[in-house]
Structure 1
Amino acid sequence: MDYRISLVGLLIGVLVGLTGMGGGSLLAPIMILFFRVPPVWAIGTDIAYSTVTKAVGSLVHIRQKTVNFQIALWLACGSVPSTLLSIGLVQYLRTNYHNLIDGFILRTLGITLMIVAALLLLKPFIMKGVEQRNLERHKPAALQGEPEEKSVNRWEQRYRPLLTIVMGAVVGFLVGLTSVGSGTLIIVSLAFMFPRLGPRELVGTDIFQAFMLLASGVIGYLLSGTINWAMVLLLLAGSLPGVFLGSRLSKYIPDNILRPLLASVLALSGWKLL
């Protein structure tokens, strides 16, 4: 353990502050590729580190009242048990198929990183399309001066909650295996499924559900004893000031330059791990 771990935390913190999403996905690949941390330990340590950062973000958004607790709990109904299930699968493979576990995790992580990279590139276009769709849907009522219809149809009452739970389960399973995607994969899906959520509520709900998902992951990896707490503390020592610095720098660095650059690094990291 040395200062380089805190420098990595500083880098990750700056990226998270600059982009709001995607920066944390680099931590596990960096630990595996540059510090030669065994994949299982890298995933467990990444989840523990991310849980702390999401907890801080959740407190901020709860105080600002930008968390939709109903949606977050729907997601948690799927993500929490599936995260524990995937961690159980990792520990089973680690115990019974020791020679296969590293390759299995590395390939799953590589594929997930490439998916996250694609979503980072597509996110601005997706969000713009969702916003345009909302405007088109509300335009007739606004022109006629009529209040927006609030009747709850079958989709909103039955199918959307079930689909939200399934979405949480899929992402939770991937996060338990890779530590990647707790925010990036969810936020784009939420924008499609809950178009009435404002940008701040969308982010706040995403961060809070990610905290619950990751907290369950910490429990799983804690029981298996594959979290390096010294590394977690060193990462936090660098990332906390990094997030502050990145947030201040975000107004000077254009998002249309930084986002493709980060997506390229994620994609290359994923390709390297395959």
Structure 2
Amino acid sequence: MLGHLDVMHITAGLFVGVMVGLTGVGGGSLMTPLLVLMFGVNAKTAVGTDLLFAAVTKTVGSTVHGWRDTVDWRIFRRLAAGSIPAALLSVAALQGLGEIGAKAEHVIIVFLGCMLILTAFAALFQKRLVRLARRGGSRHDPRALLPTVLLGAFIGVAVSISSVGAGAIGVTALLMLYPNLPVSRIVGTDIVHAVPLALVAGSGHWLYGDVDPVLLISLLIGSIPGVIVGSLLSSRAPDHLLRPALAAVLLFSGLKLLTS
């Protein structure tokens, strides 16, 4: 028999899975604050568990995008060149802080709060920002090389510390850097890039004991069917209502973390 808490975790996984399927906004933006604020999970454990949770769920999405050929492997390599080294360094630095007291917890909470607020604005104003980028004309690939590697490094740091950054923020930035690429190709590239990044960062947290395997399994039991249901309903979902509502939840969660 599943305990009461396990049922609650499965329900949380289901909710996050449906929202990810409907909106495409990364699970970390919803799952990590949910675990910290509602379930009282230690911040480092919440981030570590959520990273492996994201790696498993996004592997399914990556397979679909790879099969549909909606991945730009050149952009993927540029992002990974910045994100993977940054992720490794960030996890090591976080553990170093953890050894000298509760500083790591404080860093995660503050960073997570700021990233949630940034994600809220990215989700809300994504279409306007992309329109502005397209009005400015196309960007040649050589000029986008360094910004893409730097974007990857930023995402690597952000995801390793807070598990947030590879969803709405990453997609919005890529759409501005590559305004002439189809949105489906940008989203596909971002999802595929998130898998090795989450695996590397999540494995680092696992090595340091920051992952709860029972919690991880409970979340996955709910999220996998949730992602499928959300994806099937996404074409019928009222995006003009969902995005502002999601942005409001993220903004509230971010402010709550920063003021708690």
TM-score higher than 0.5 here?
yes
Identify the residue that residue 183 of structure 2 maps to in structure 1.
Answer: 199
1:40-79 counterparts in 2 under 5 A? 40-79=44-83
Identify the residue that residue 125 of structure 1 maps to in structure 2.
Answer: 128
CA 1:114–1:81: 2 relative to 1, 3 Å? same
* Conserved 8 A contact 2:130-2:179: no
Between the aligned partners of 1:212 and 1:2, the Cα distance in structure 2 is 28
AA aligned opposite 1:268? F
Between the aligned partners of 1:222 and 1:23, the Cα distance in structure 2 is 19
Residue 106 of structure 1, CA deviation: 0.5
SS in 1 for 2:166: coil
Q: 1:84 aligns with which of 82, 88, 93?
A: 88
Identify the residue that residue 146 of structure 1 maps to in structure 2.
Answer: none
Matched, 1:171 2:190: no
Identify the residue that residue 117 of structure 2 maps to in structure 1.
Answer: 114
AA aligned opposite 1:79? S
Identify the residue that residue 141 of structure 2 maps to in structure 1.
Answer: 156
Percent of pairs with identical residues? 39
* Conserved 8 A contact 1:41-1:226: yes
AA aligned opposite 2:107? F
Between the aligned partners of 1:79 and 1:109, the Cα distance in structure 2 is 18
- TM-score, structure 1 length as denominator? 0.88
* Conserved 8 A contact 2:26-2:166: no
AA aligned opposite 2:174? L
The C-alpha deviation readout for 1:167-202, integer Å capped at 9, x for no partner, is 100111011110001122211111111122112111
Between the aligned partners of 1:109 and 1:50, the Cα distance in structure 2 is 16
* Conserved 8 A contact 1:87-1:221: yes
Residue 2 of structure 1, CA deviation: 1.5
- TM-score, structure 2 length as denominator? 0.92
Q: 2:218 aligns with which of 222, 234, 248?
A: 234
User: Which structure is larger by alpha-carbon Rg, 1 or 2?
Assistant: 1
1:175-254 counterparts in 2 under 5 A? 175-254=159-238
Q: 2:240 aligns with which of 243, 256, 261?
A: 256
The C-alpha deviation readout for 1:6-29, integer Å capped at 9, x for no partner, is 000000011011111145411001
The C-alpha deviation readout for 1:124-148, integer Å capped at 9, x for no partner, is 22233445556xx7xxxxxxxxxxx
Residue 247 of structure 1, CA deviation: 2.3
Aligned residues: 254
AA aligned opposite 2:47? I
Question: Which runs of 5 or more residues in structure 2 are unaligned?
Answer: none
Identify the residue that residue 2 of structure 1 maps to in structure 2.
Answer: 6
SS in 2 for 1:2: helix
Residue 165 of structure 1, CA deviation: 0.7
* Conserved 8 A contact 1:22-1:120: no
Question: Which runs of 5 or more residues in structure 1 are unaligned?
Answer: 138-152
Residue 214 of structure 1, CA deviation: 1.0
Between the aligned partners of 1:240 and 1:22, the Cα distance in structure 2 is 14
Between the aligned partners of 1:23 and 1:39, the Cα distance in structure 2 is 16
RMSD across aligned positions (CA): 1.7
